[in-house]
Every structure is written in C-alpha cells, then in structure tokens.
Structure 1
Amino acid sequence: MQYSLEKTDPLSLARAGEIITGHGRIPTPVFMPVGTVGSVKGIHVKDLKEEVRAHIILGNTYHLYLRPGLEVLRQAGGLHRFNSWDRPILTDSGGFQVFSLSEKRKLSHQGAEFRSHLDGSKHLFTPEKVVDIQRIIGADIMMAFDECPPGDANYDYALQSMELTHKWLKRGIERFETTDPQYGYEQAFFPIVQGAGYPDLRKRSAEFIASFGMDGNAIGGLAVGEPEEVMYEMIEVVNDILPEDKPRYLMGVGTPVNILEAVSRGVDMFDCVMPTRNGRNGMLFTSEGIINIKNEKWKTDFSPIDSDGHCLYDTLYSKAYLRHLFVSREMLGPQIASIHNLAFYHWLVSEARRRIIEGRFSTWKEKIIQQLARRL
C-alpha cells in the first residue's frame, strides 16, 4: 500500500491525499460504507459503484468468521470474489464486536474468548488468529486486534485496556510479518490507538503504535459514549503524534458534522453504520439539514428527495413518494434512503477534498456545518 499527501488546508490540519492498493486508488478524505457481513445492507454492488460512488467498503472479521465462515471464503478466493466487489476492502478486526459482547466474552493476555451471538458456540480470538482470518478474507487493509473500552471507562480500566491492546499489537505485527497474502496482492496492517478519554494515555498509545512504522494508523475507542468535545480533543492529541506520511483512520465515526470536524483535525478515513442504519429508519442527511421522511409534513411535498442530486434516486423520486414507501412499509423505501445517505456522505468527503485542494476548506466547513445539524 502507498499513501501520498497532495495538499493541506492553510487554516486547519485538513489534508487531501491518495491511497493506492492492489484493488485500486482511494482519494482521501474518504468514507467507507459498512458491509459487516460482506454486504452493505440492502444495496447492490452496482448501486455502490454508480450511485454511491464508493471507493472502498468495510467488512467485519467477527461476523465473516462466524458466517459464511473461513472455508467458504477460502474456496471462493476471498471476499472480493465472494461478493463481487473489485475495489478495495478494509476489515475491522472484530475488537469492537467483542467489546459489544461484554456479557458473553472473557479477556486475557492470550486473547478474547466469546460466545457466538448466533448459536452460543465458544470461540477464541487471539491477535495471531485475527491476522490469519483477515488473510483468508483477503482485505486490502487489515486491522490489529484491540480491546475497546467504553466511553466512560475509569482511568485504571483504560490503562489496562491500552496495555493489553499494545501487547496484542506486538503479536499481531509479528504474525503479519511472518505470513503471506493468499490471493496474489499485498495487504496492509493498521495498528489502533486506544486510551479512552485520557490525553496522557492517548499520547502514549499514539507514540507506541507509530513506532512500528506500519502502512497506516487508526484511532479507536471514540464515539462510544464520550462527549463530542472529548472526542475532538483526543483526535487532536493523537494526530499531533501520528506520522503525516501515513493515512489516519478514525473508526466508527460518525455524523456529517463529526466527519468534517475530524477532517479539519487531520483525519483521512472514516466508516460508520449511521448512513444506512438511520436511512432504514427514515432519517435522511442532506446539505440543508436532517429530514425525518416519515413526518406528516412531507406527505404532499412533491419536490425531489434532494435537489442537489447526490444520486439518481434523489431527483427521480419525491419526498412524498419516499414517505409513502415508509408508511406502507415497502422495502424500497429504506433502500432508497440508504443509497441517498451513502451518496451524500460520499459527496461530503469529496467536496471536502475539493475545498482542501482549492485552499478554501475551513471557510466552507464553518458555513456548512451550521446547515448539516439542522432538523428540517
């Protein structure tokens, strides 16, 4: 994997760059639609390419390991061939999913023992096993196995969690460096900064993971319940340390405003389930503000879903028709809303990139975030 920094904003830390992988180029900043089980929920690959215009999608190690399972993925020739996505893929290591299974998992220096949410069967994830799984999945970018503490974790818990993540990282890197890709293209490996909401821990963690000189670095354990101002502070602390010549990935974030604030603090890569999850529930993100399409006020609004036309469906269908689909519980409604939201997120980071290159990002960002948070 290669990364090149093309331009920085003169009034902030925002940056435009490019990542090159075995499955293509990724202009940054970039938003990655979440395809947890190998599919971005309710969206065809054709629409991901033509309407969303996604450059890269995310899969999840935990879910793909359980279903369809490693043997199926191996026989298919990896996830790219299995789901017919020929552009880059990043896989989360499963650390967040293990965190979310707190009542069903047990942590040790060896790894994380957990019970499947599908059938209750017992499994053990170690740093080495997680690398092996991601080799079989065939992701272009693999994540290190980490432990994600809750947003309100006390200092002692956050410290122990960070130290465990660091120990696991050493073992994960050793496994990565002593194994080979299985499908004829290179894979990259990103460590993850932890430390909850404590600046000194975040600083220590950023210095530790940066010392390994991997292809890129990630910031984990944010947007898990802590106040937004804490999240922004932690991003600043970490990005002051992470190298400028490597991409920085903020995991699981977030709202359009969160993304622009993080871009202004030097983040390059994002993922979040919000565009599709909220879309399935009738919440649309637009450049004018947030719409709950199920509200009565849209019943006879025959204007386009979004006049800016981020995807074909924005101008093809009206707000009134989309509301009708939701009220009628027609599955087409959540699908259109999800595609719209993903296309909007893609437009947002692409527009941010354009403004950075032009040297006008900060002025634009301060203006548009006032609109993005409005409820229409």
Structure 2
Amino acid sequence: MKDFFNYEVIAECPHTRARVARMSTPHGIIETPCFMPVGTQATVKAMAPFELEMLGARIILSNAYHLYLRPGVDIIEKAGGLHGFMGWDRAILTDSGGFQVFSLASLRNVSDDGVEFQSHLDGSRHFLTPASVMAVEESLGSDIAMCFDECTSYPISEEDARRATLRTIRWAMLCKQSHSRPDQALFGIIQGSVFPELRRLCGEALVDMDFPGYGIGGLAVGEPKRMMYDVLELMDQLLPRSKPRYLMGVGHPLDMVEAIALGVDMFDCVLPTRNARNGSVLTSRGMLNVRRQELKDDLSPLDPKCNCYVCKNFSRAYIRHLHKAGEILASRLCTWHNLHFMLELAREARRTIVDGSFPRLLEYCRKVFGDETD
C-alpha cells in the first residue's frame, strides 16, 4: 500500500493541533488540509472537470451507492473505472453509501450481515453487505474507498447508538478482510454519535485494525456545535497523528477551520454547490444572497477581496439578473465562486499553519461566520 498511498506531515501549528501534510495517491499528490468538491453522480454539479482543475481541486468525492444504482458498475468498469468514465485524472474518494442507504432508501432491513433496502429510484430491492460494497468500490477504482458503516441520526438513544457502533466495528473488520485492491486505500469510519464512550470504543477498535486513514462520521446531523467539537477533540486524542483524518460531510467555513485546529485533514460538503444553485454565495464578509432586490444595480463583484474568475469578470447585478431569469449560467458562476472560496480557504489554512499565523485565520472565521453556525 505504501507504494500507492502515503501520508506525511510536513508542518504543525505551534498553537493548535492543525497540521499540513502531503498525501500521495495513484492520481497525484494532495496537500492537506483539503476540501473535496462533491461529485455524487460522477460529476460536480454545474462544473466540468477542466474547470475543477483550474480551481486547483486535487481530489473530489463520488458516491458508491448512487453509482451502483445508476448507471451501474458494469458500464463504469467498461469505461476503465470512474476516472475514465468521468474524464477526471486526479484523485477520487468514494463514499460507501452508508449514509444514503439509511437516509434515502425505504423499507430497509438492517442486520449484522448487511442492509436489505428498496431503491429510491425505481423501487427495486437490493442487499448490500460489507463484501459487496467493497467489490463495488474496487470496481469503481477510486484512490480512496470508505468502509460500509451504519449511520445514525440525532437525537438518538445511547442504546441505539451502541447497536450501530458495534455493527460499524463488525462491518469495518469485514470490509478490511474483503478489500484486496492494492492501489486503493481503504479508510475506516468512526461512529458513536455524541457519546464519548461509544466514540472511544469505535475509535480504538478501528485503530487496532490499522487502516491507512480514518473517517469521522455521524456529525453535522443536527447536534449542537459544541458536541461536534467535543467529539473531534476526543478523536484527536485517539487517532494516530501519522494518518489522515477525514470529517465526513462537513464544509461550512467555520466548521472546517475549527476542525483543522483539532487535527482534521480532509473535508467534503454539498452545501457550497447546493447553496450556489440557490443564489447563496460565500464572501469574505459572510454569506450573500444574490437574489436580493438591493443588488439590482450593484456593479461590484460578489466579493471585492476575491480574485476568482467570476469576481474578476462579473457583477452582482449581472449574476442576480441571471438567477432571476432562470439562466443556467447563474448556477455555474455561483458554484465556481463558492468552490474557489472553499479551496482557497484550505490553501490559506495550509499557508498560515506553515508560517505560524493560523490562529488569526481561526479568529477571522469565528468573527465572520460564527453567527451562522449557532
């Protein structure tokens, strides 16, 4: 595995637990902390692969559950794997789809062996096991695959959370036993909701299994922010500093920077692209709704401090006009800008960790975005 995947810490913040690392994969080197644009259906909505390259994205995320149901693994294999199918020659991480099985599928039946469920697309019935999910992810050919896990909602009883945690541990062991592709790193996923003893139980069990990296799942599902940060503090104590940590599904600017301060390396979230399609953009002064009436005559850029293609070439008034007219370009331009913001924020985190000024970035994000995470 070391021939294909390697993680090396190259700088650490003297004031926090933040660090900068280089992670090598078969499709290139990724500097962390990093934000991964979400391409659930083998595409980042409203963006072409070459545009993502222009933005500096080195890794994107796709979803094994969705691709298994549509278009199916066979056609992707015929195309030479997911990289060839979607025309993306940089790194890809595939989520196993555990969250989607539990949130989208109807009539599901969970057992220690796997999950029987009804497709949200056509009602067809399927049975996913740790072994079958590994087979799907290996066929997709992603650089990083995630274990199959049982996701939980919030709030949840400690009894139900324990049951899901024990099942997640069992499935992680079965995934590791089934996974055989040497050019694909398999990350374990730590569950346990907001219960410290369950998080510790799951974390210690998965560390003993010696995965090359670890996902932290089951957060940002409605729990208070302080609870999420408490879990991350515990994970920083439990997880080896020599391996990458991936906070799954979290991508609000402040949450990302707070998590970086607690030793997290990798992030993904649909909100920057979803919000963009709804006219909500990230700026150095916080969120901006471009549909607002007062922007009708505003010829300034979305963010005067931003140097992205959109801010260099288009005004708030123009982008508002596009949204009001229902033009596709509105979604494309706002998505471009929001992804640039998140990727640039990760780059700024790396820069400030190296030069020792990361705490100033953290305080800035708390000031600008703090009210939005309460």
Coarse TM-score class (shorter-chain normalised):
over 0.9
Q: Does structure 2 conserve the Cα–Cα contact (< 8 Å) formed by 1:33 and 1:272?
A: yes
Q: Which runs of 5+ in 1 are unaligned?
A: none
Cα distance in 2 between the residues matched to 1:21 and 1:312 = 29
Cα distance, 1:175 vs structure 2 = 0.4
Match of 1:355 among 352, 357, 367: 352
- What residue number does 2:298 align with? 301
Cα distance, 1:287 vs structure 2 = 1.5
- What residue number does 1:130 align with? 133
Listed one character per residue, the Cα deviations across residues 4-45 of structure 1 (whole Å, up to 9, x for unaligned) are 001111111111111000000000000000000100011111
Alignment of 1:68-87 (within 5 A): 68-87=71-90
Q: Secondary structure at the match of 1:211?
A: helix
Q: Does structure 2 conserve the Cα–Cα contact (< 8 Å) formed by 1:91 and 1:143?
A: yes
Cα distance in 2 between the residues matched to 1:84 and 1:101 = 28
Cα distance, 1:374 vs structure 2 = 6.5
Cα distance, 1:140 vs structure 2 = 0.1
Alignment of 1:28-107 (within 5 A): 28-50=32-54, 52-101=55-104, 103-107=106-110
Alignment of 1:113-192 (within 5 A): 113-176=116-179, 179-180=180-181, 186-192=183-189
- What residue number does 1:346 align with? 343
TM-score (norm 2): 0.96
Cα distance, 1:373–1:310 mapped onto 2, change above 3 Å: farther
Q: Secondary structure at the match of 2:57?
A: coil
The question of 1:27 aligning with 2:48 is answered no
2:43 counterpart letter in structure 1: S
Q: Secondary structure at the match of 1:240?
A: helix
Q: CA RMSD in A?
A: 1.2
Q: Secondary structure at the match of 2:238?
A: coil
Q: Percent identity over the alignment?
A: 45
Q: Secondary structure at the match of 1:285?
A: strand
Cα distance in 2 between the residues matched to 1:109 and 1:174 = 16
- What residue number does 1:199 align with? 196
TM-score (norm 1): 0.96
Cα distance in 2 between the residues matched to 1:136 and 1:311 = 36
- What residue number does 1:285 align with? 282
Cα distance, 1:310–1:29 mapped onto 2, change above 3 Å: farther
Q: Secondary structure at the match of 1:146?
A: coil
Cα distance in 2 between the residues matched to 1:206 and 1:167 = 13
Q: Which runs of 5+ in 2 are unaligned?
A: none
Alignment of 1:220-235 (within 5 A): 220-235=217-232
Number of residue equivalences? 368
Cα distance in 1 between the residues matched to 2:178 and 2:16 = 38
2:328 counterpart letter in structure 1: M
Cα distance, 1:68 vs structure 2 = 1.1
Q: Secondary structure at the match of 1:31?
A: strand
Alignment of 1:326-337 (within 5 A): 326-337=323-334
After TM superposition, where is structure 1 displaced by more than 3 Å over at least 4 residues in a row?
372-375
Cα distance in 1 between the residues matched to 2:158 and 2:231 = 15
